[in-house]
């Protein structure tokens, strides 16, 4: 279903709008990282748009959110209409334009019923609901800018993978383009919709798909490890707890769990630390690390160490999740049996 609808939309968007004529598709998120649990009914698709040189101005102390300006008039003159009165590139205007094209185009799709869901305030995604007689899936389309320039200073001390994946791999990752998604920074006093957030989805996907300290880990003839197994277990645990305690746990998402896994891979970098046969011990130590983070309300972003994904004002929520996980842990995970 997704492969029926998305390529059609991409063709239409390229045809339709000068400003979006160079977009490319990039699958991101759990389905494409092969760590999807339960039904494959949610997909994240990044629509990547190459842009000429940008000036990035930090808009707060997280090091993750930026205002963008063109360093010189862009080759794609069409993009100038998305610049606001302060000269900043407006994420809101660009998303709105893309959304309008998609809304128009889904009407022409014959073999499935496609609707564009209502906007969630501050969300970087345009969400499609795709239905046919067999299935129903939801697809988040995320507008992403791709800039061929070096990563900003806030990332300098992140991605500490030297012991785990090696110094060469770190250098290779850091030489890749910079990706920015149209994400509203909620800390702003006035929400103008002109902030962008750094995104490392492409690198997270590469790390999960080539996650071994030895290069043969989990390859067809290589030894298998349980890193992904651990991630799936903790994702499932969080997902089930969120169903039970939707209100209390709404701030938590699988990104917290994935970030904790990356940190755990750095603490225990060897493939022998993640032996397939030791799944339960490995899961316990990874879970232990995550519980420590909840305890201290401190989980540094893997690429931007100054950015804490568990803000101190969410301390009560972190403590609540910690109690729920401890309860599961002490009672042999009844939620897995349900």
Residue 188's pLDDT is 63
Rg (C-alpha) for the chain, rounded Å, is 21
User: Tell me: the pLDDT tens digits for 40-61?
Assistant: 788 888 899 998 889 999 999 9
pLDDT (average), residues 215-244: 93
pLDDT reported for residue 18: 74
- Copy the structure tokens of residue 287: 């879970």
Q: Residue 57 half-sphere exposure, CB side, CA atoms within 13 Å? A: 12
- Domains for the chain: give ranges and CATH numbers: 1-201 (3.30.460.90), 211-336 (1.10.1410.40)
Q: Would you state the structure tokens that stand for residue 208, as one six-digit string?
A: 């999960």
Q: How many CB atoms neighbour CB 175 within 10 A?
A: 9
Phi first, then psi: give them for residue 126, nearest 5 degrees.
-105, 115
Q: For 2-23, b where at least 16 C-beta lie within 10 A, e where not — what string?
A: beebbebbbebbeebeebbeeb
- Give 273's pLDDT tier (boundaries 50, 70, 90): very high
* 68 has pLDDT over 80: yes
At 135, give phi and psi (nearest 5°).
-155, 170
| Rounded Cα distance, 131 and 1, in Å | 8
Q: Is 318 or 193 the better-scoring residue by pLDDT?
A: 318
In the 3-class helix/strand/coil scheme, how is the chain assigned residue by residue?
A: CHHHHHHHHHHHHHHHCHHHCCCEEEEEHHHHCCCCCCCCCEEEEEEEEEECCEEEEECCCCCCEEEEEECCCCCCHHHHHHECCCCCECHHHHHHHHHHHHHHHHHHCCCCEEEECCCCCCCCEEEEEEECCCCEEEEEEEEEEEECCCCCHHHCCCCCCCCCCCHHHHHHHHCCCEEEECCCCCCCCCCCCCCEEEECHHHHHHHHHCCCCCCCCCCCCCCCECHHHHHHHHHHHHHHHHHHCCCCCCCCCHHHHHHHHHHHHHHCCCHHHHEHHHHHHHHHHHHHHHHHHHHHCCCECCCCCCCECCCHHHHHHHHHHHHHHHHHHHCCCHHHHC
The pLDDT of residue 75: 67
Mean pLDDT computed over 117-129:
84
Residue 76 has pLDDT above 70, yes or no: no
Q: Is the pLDDT of residue 114 over 70?
A: yes
Judge whether residue 267 has pLDDT over 70: yes
In this prediction, residues 303-310 reach a mean pLDDT of 96
Q: Residue 189 pLDDT more than 70? A: no
Worst-scoring range by mean pLDDT, 121-135, 204-218, 268-282, 296-310?
121-135
| Average of per-residue pLDDT across 207-219 | 91
On the 0-12 / 13-18 / 19+ scale of CB atoms within 10 A, 308 is middle
């Amino acid at each position: 279903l997704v492969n029926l609808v998305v390529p059609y939309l991409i063709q239409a968007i390229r045809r339709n709008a000068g400003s979006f004529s160079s977009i490319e598709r990039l699958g991101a998120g759990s389905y494409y990282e092969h760590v999807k649990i339960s039904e494959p009914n949610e997909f994240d698709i990044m629509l990547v748009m190459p842009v000429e040189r940008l000036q990035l101005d930090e808009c707060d102390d997280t090091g993750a959110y930026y205002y963008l300006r063109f360093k010189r008039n862009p080759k794609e003159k069409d993009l100038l209409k998305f610049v606001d009165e302060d000269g900043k590139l407006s994420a809101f205007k660009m998303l709105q334009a893309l959304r309008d094209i998609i809304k128009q185009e889904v009407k022409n799709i014959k073999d499935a019923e496609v609707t564009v869901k209502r906007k969630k305030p501050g969300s970087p995604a345009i969400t499609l609901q795709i239905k046919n007689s067999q299935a129903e899936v939801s697809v988040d389309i995320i507008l992403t800018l791709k800039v061929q320039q070096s990563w900003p200073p806030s990332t300098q001390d992140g991605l500490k993978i030297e012991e785990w994946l090696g110094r060469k791999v770190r250098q290779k990752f850091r030489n890749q383009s910079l990706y920015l998604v149209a994400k509203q920074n909620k800390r702003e006093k006035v929400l103008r919709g002109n902030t962008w957030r750094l995104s490392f989805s492409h690198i997270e996907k590469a790390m999960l798909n080539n996650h071994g300290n030895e290069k043969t880990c989990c390859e067809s003839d290589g030894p298998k490890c349980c890193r992904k197994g651990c991630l799936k277990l903790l994702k499932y645990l969080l997902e089930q707890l969120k169903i039970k305690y939707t209100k209390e746990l709404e701030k938590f998402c699988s990104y917290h769990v994935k970030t904790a896994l990356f940190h755990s891979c750095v603490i225990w970098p060897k493939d022998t630390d993640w032996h397939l046969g030791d799944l339960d011990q490995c899961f316990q130590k990874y879970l232990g690390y995550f519980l420590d983070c909840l305890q201290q309300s401190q989980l540094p972003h893997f690429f931007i160490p100054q950015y804490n994904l568990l803000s101190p004002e969410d301390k009560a929520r972190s403590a609540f999740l910690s109690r729920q996980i401890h309860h599961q842990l002490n009672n042999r995970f009844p939620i897995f049996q349900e």
